[in-house]
Amino acid sequence: MSIADIQIAPTPEHHQHDDHSLNFWTKYIFSTDHKVIGKQFLIMGIFWAIIGGLLSVLIRIQLGMPESNLAWLEPILGKWIVDGKLDPGFYLGTVTMHGTIMMFLVLTAGLSGTFSNFLIPLQIGARDMASPFMNMLSFWFYMLSSVLFFVSFFVESGPAMGGWTVYPPLSAIPQAISGSGLGMTLYIIGFILFIVSTLMGGLNYITTVINLRTKGMSMARMPLTVWALFLTAVIATLSFPVLFAALLLLFFDRSFGTSFYLSEIYIAGEALPNMGGSPVLYQHLFWFLGHPEVYIIFLPALGLTSEIVATHARKPIFGYKAMILSMAGIVVLSFVVWAHHMFTSGMNPFLGTAFMVTTLAIAIPSAIKVFNYITTLWGGNIRFTAAMLFSIGLISFIISGGLTGIILGNAPLDIHLHDTYFVVAHFHLVMGVLAFFGTFAGVYHWFPKMFGRMMHEGLGKLHFWITLTGSYLMFIPMHYMGYAGYPRRYYSFTNFEYMNNFIDLNWFISVAAIVTASAQLIFLFNFFYSIWRGKKAPANPWGSNSLEWTTEKVVPGHGNWEGDIPEVYRWPYDYSKPGAKEDFIPQTVSLTETIESNTDYENQRLIQLKKEITNTQNN
Amino acid sequence: MIQIIGIVGAAFVIAIAYAIFKVLRFVDIIKRPAKSEVPSDNNTSALLLLIFVILFLFGFWWYFFYASPDLLPVSASAHGEETDQLFRIAMGVILIPFTLLNILLFYAAYRFRYKKGTFARFYPHNNKLEVIWTVVPGLVFAVLILMGTNVWSRITTAPPENAEVINIMGYQFAWGVRYPGADDTLGSHDYRLADAVNQFGMDLSDPSSFDDFMPLEIHLPKGKPVLLNIFAKDVIHSVFLPHFRLKMDAVPGMPTRFWFTPKYTTEEMREMVGNPEFNYEMACTEICGTGHFAMRMVVVVDEPEAYEEWKASQLTWLKMNPEYLAKIPENLQEIARIKSGIEQLPAIVAK
Ligand code: HEM
Ligand SMILES: [Cu+2]
Ligand SMILES: [Cu+2]
């Protein structure tokens, strides 16, 4: 007699109406199904990644091949190409939009949006999100914001040009730069819609995780993926509203003559009337989101990786509790480190000391995570699938990119390094490339669940090797340029004598960037080809423990499970348990079926449970 | 250059086309569903990971030494020597785990590749290990913080009384630099007084302004503390003196400052780097508009005597722009003419 027999069976819900009442529009476009919404976020994320990637290639052509004639771009860029040269204002627009697109439209919406939507209900055993309708709205607000960002490329005065941080006064005064005209207005409205989308999504993820877990799925049995996505949503819902406020005030300063951020400005031949505002106030508000945002990008990638590393190493994740605690530590600390971006902003030096301490404190949980990953691999029986390879790459990027954070977090060192290529190198490794690797790993791993087919592993590996090598070749050298004093957001390095020594290196980085960017075509082909022509996927292709692989159909329909939602009896990391028949025991297998592999503690629990049950039956 | 890109691009297209061809054939052959299985190229992947980490670290360390000569010369300021020292220590501290952890990671992947018939070790946690690797990084970071706060507090203390005071103002897209002149007192400024010529917004009703001068190059005395008062006129800029390891934002409406002590004259630095053309340069490191990348200004460090001579030889701003005399209040006209050096009156030498 298994435990399941004894517990009261949940009343079967009716899910027979599955898909039949849905037409094309309600099924694929205005869908409230979390899986479809997840895929919608993925497709849009890919779209934006292509644009963001093309912009980075443009940046690199400008910096690495400054002599080249760009007249061939005229059909696309029009008046922004002057005599075969890129317009310096448009260069700044390119940098700004590249950063914004990558950070928000790709690695926030595209990463969290895809995997929170797709995985949370499937991994905790829910039929859908807590509020499927709000979930749909979340995607459509993202679409609206996408449209505004996209349109801003085509307005006469160009897209926003103030850097992704859009510090006022530069972003507040149209006379300061052409991008601060209509382009900036679209940017602010687009961003505000984006925040609305993120908040609706985030609240949904949080309520779903708290309320809709299936029977037996205690918080302490959730896969680390769900933990990471959940904690990410917590960070996002607490920090994005502050950016909302900051942008609203910026909007007022721009459009209604207020002076929140403006004071004592003389520009384009006239003194502005604004008095009493503070540009540094904006920086504090901005970075109150801006730093947590880094973790909004970082944590989901690590969450996906945790699951993938355990599955493909056939080994439980090492230090499950420590992993959760360190993520929780990151959540709390991420709110008290923001001013490490402002060591040279003129704020009180005492703040510098305080934020230096909190910043190095937040490095500790990240260090713990690295050690735990390596220990998870140690003693494993590793299968190098494309997903696994990308996860290993990701761990390498936490190491290589994370360590330079210890340098930048040290205020006296940041004096020299702030706003140089050292920073660009650091955040690309630890945030940009890292999160892309997490996303790729996630796509290769969950593709069979999304589309019922496998991606081609060989192409996946080719994609991995080029991307891994290329990423290091691009970003390791940038540290040297940064230490040598090359400032970021520079149109060219030709005006300074001290910046004439890395010409070859700049060229080299650009070639690496172009090669790496082209290698993403392999992924695109593999992805779209496999959707229709990939090998048919089995139910549980990786021999994984978590709930999403237990659905009756390989690609679950509306409501996910056709019958009852399965019950959960154990944590998701029972891989290679001694004594077990197979090297994995899904969460749905009850302890009574695995007496031979149970730990002593588990068997004692069983005996105790049985006693309790016999007692209640005798009464 | 373009050719190389072309070749690389072409190679890519061919590689991708070939891969696509292989996939298509592969898919045609295998129609039945895939099964959970170990990738056939598992050992190859493991070996490649091992080769990768070797090449990666080898390449890294080779480049580390190869590129060093291209970095900036020794710090030209006293506090910069301390930050450089701290940088070297911190770099040393992080390069050890960088190397070891990367080796460990890729080696673990290689060593524990799938082997038929073996099982992974069921090893979910070990509290002792976890405590160790929480505490050890914690201690290392604590030491780095202590060293950092120490240097930071020395850099950010109040400037010494005897510091040379210089005002710098960033505007689109140049720097205005203002010295106090013979009276050693800087006059005030106000953005509402600015115009195309009076970029600084110099207040000409303040008698201290009359002898102030605004050179096209910054000169600094060697070995004397210098205090930069930093202003911005339009948007945020940032004073960056890479050779002095110095950076501070220029913020409209909020004066900032940074003090430091130049250590080597331009001549001495030219000798040290073996380049007779060498110049100290100032750049802008806060995005400020289309000309952000071109806000260059040359900085010259002189021996103290040469510095005083240079100062004495500078024409006052008022003398160079005498039309502004008309804007000076009636009762100050006389003193303005004299202090600015427009009129020589030996009897009433300023101060
Ligand atoms: C092919 C890959 C990429 C290349 C070659 C690349 C290149 C660059 C370069 C050269 C800059 C600095 C431009 C300048 O300061 O003038 C930059 C800025 C930036 N990149 Fe990337 N990037 C890539 C991918 C990413 C990814 C994946 C992210 C995601 C986080 C990202 C986020 C940013 C951000 C936030 C900025 C700062 C923008 C600003 O200064 O306002 N990049 N990128
Ligand atoms: Cu931060
Ligand atoms: Cu600037």
- Residue B257: alpha-carbon gap to chain centroid: 16
Interface of B with A in 314-343 (CB under 8 A): none
Two structure tokens written together for A117: 């939507």
Q: How many CA atoms, within 13 angstroms, populate the side-chain half-sphere of residue A96?
A: 30
Q: Whose CA is nearest to atom 3 of ligand 1?
A: A56
Predicted confidence (pLDDT) at residue B38 exceeds the cutoff of 90: no
Q: Give the pLDDT confidence score for residue A196 in this predicted structure.
A: 97
Chain B, residues 256-275, CB within 8 A of chain A, namely 256
A340 lines ligand 1 (CB under 6 A): no
Name the residue in chain B with its Cα closest to that of A597.
B122
Tell if the CB–CB gap between B287 and A262 is shorter than 8 Å.
Answer: no
Each residue's pLDDT tens digit, B191-200? 999 998 998 9
Q: How far is A387 from chain B (nearest CA, A)?
A: 12
Domains held by chain B: number: 1
Tell me whether residue B296 is in a domain: yes
Residues on chain B touching A314 (C-beta within 8 angstroms): 119-120
**Cβ contacts of A392 on chain B, cutoff 8 Å:** 49, 105-106, 109
| Domain encompassing residue B309 | 164-317
Q: Which chain B residues are within 8 Å of A70, Cβ to Cβ?
A: none
Q: Can you tell me the mean pLDDT for A230-258?
A: 96
Q: Is residue B199 part of a domain?
A: yes
Residue B271 lies in a domain: yes
From A102, A299, A341, A493, the mutation candidate for ligand 1 (largest count of ligand atoms within 8 A of CB) is A102
Query: How close is the Cα of A285 to the center of ligand 1, in Å?
Result: 22
Q: Is the pLDDT of residue B25 over 80?
A: no
More confident residue, B301 or B342: B301
| Residue B293 is assigned to a structural domain of this protein | yes
Give the per-residue pLDDT at A9: 38
What whole-number distance in Å separates Cα of residue A213 and Cα of residue B72? 57
Look at residue B24 in the predicted model and tell me its pLDDT. Answer: 54
Alpha helices (H) in A266-278, listed in sequence order: none
Question: Does residue A483 register a pLDDT over 70?
Answer: yes
Residues with CB under 5 Å of ion ligand 3 are B 237, 284, 288, 292
Ligand with smallest separation from the Cα of A434: 1
Using alpha carbons, list the distances in angstroms from residue A211 to A30, A568, A571.
25, 15, 18
Question: How far is B216 from A363, CA to CA, in rounded Å?
Answer: 45
Instruction: Name the closest-CA residue to atom 34, ligand 1.
Output: A99
Alpha helices in chain B (DSSP H): 2-29, 42-67, 78-111, 127-156, 266-273, 304-313, 317-320, 333-339
Domain locations in chain A?
Answer: 31-262+273-536, 547-618
Tens digits of residue pLDDT in A277-317: 999 999 999 999 999 999 999 999 999 999 999 999 999 99
Q: Please state the φ and ψ torsions of residue A323, each to the nearest 5 degrees.
A: -65, -45
**B30: nearest CB among A278, A411, A535:** A535
Chain A residues near residue B149 by CB distance under 8 angstroms: 353, 356-357, 411
pLDDT value for A344: 94
pLDDT digits (tens, 9 = 90+) for B161-193: 999 999 999 999 999 999 998 888 999 999 999
In a domain, B141, yes or no: no
Q: Is the CB of A96 under 6 A from ligand 1?
A: yes
**Cβ-defined contact of A320 to B124 (cutoff 8 Å):** yes
Q: Is the peptide bond before B221 cis (omega within 30 degrees of 0)?
A: no
Q: What mean pLDDT comes out for the span A416-423?
A: 96
| CATH of range A31-262+273-536; options 1.25.40.10, 3.30.1370.60, 3.40.190.10, 1.20.210.10 | 1.20.210.10
pLDDT one-digit tens code per residue, A338-349: 999 999 998 888
Lowest mean pLDDT among A2-6, A385-389, A579-583, B282-286: A2-6
Residue A4 confidence (pLDDT) above 70: no
Residue A45's CB is within 10 A of a number of other CB atoms, namely 24
User: Is the CB of residue A300 less than 8 Å from the CB of residue A233?
Assistant: no
Question: What's the mean pLDDT when you consider all of chain B?
Answer: 88
- Which segment of A403-407, B26-30, B261-265 scores lowest on mean pLDDT? B26-30
Chain A residues whose CB is inside 8 A of the B50 CB are none
Q: What is the pLDDT of residue B3?
A: 54
A123 lines ligand 1 (CB under 6 A): no
Higher pLDDT, A579 or A390: A390
Residue B75 lies in a domain: no
**CATH number of the domain to which B212 belongs:** 2.60.40.420
d(C-alpha A183, C-alpha A240), whole Å: 22
Summarize pLDDT for A358-373 with one digit per residue, the tens.
998 999 999 999 999 9
Structure-token match 């006022």, residue found: A168
Q: Mean pLDDT in chain A?
A: 92
> How far apart are the CA of B136 and the nearest CA of chain A, in angstroms?
9
Residue matched to tokens 């080809």 = A529
Arithmetic mean of pLDDT, A403-430? 96
- Pick the atom of ligand 1 nearest to A488's CA: 15
Q: Do the Cβ atoms of A596 and A579 come closer than 8 Å?
A: yes
> Which one-letter amino acid corresponds to residue B125?
H
- The model's pLDDT over A13-54, given as tens digits with 9 standing for 90+, comes to 444 444 456 677 777 788 889 999 999 999 999 999 999 999
Q: pLDDT of A266-279, one tens digit each?
A: 999 899 999 999 99
Report residue B21's pLDDT band, with 50, 70 and 90 as the boundaries. Answer: low
What is the mean pLDDT of the segment spanning B243-252?
A: 96
Q: How far is CA B169 from CA A441, B177, B200, B229, B294, in A?
A: 50, 6, 7, 8, 15
Q: Take atom 43 of ligand 1 and give the residue whose Cα is closest.
A: A56
Ligand nearest to the CA of B291: 3
**How confident is the model over B60-119, as pLDDT tens digits?**
999 999 988 889 999 999 999 999 999 999 999 999 999 999 999 999 999 999 998 888
Overall residue count recorded for chain A in this entry: 619
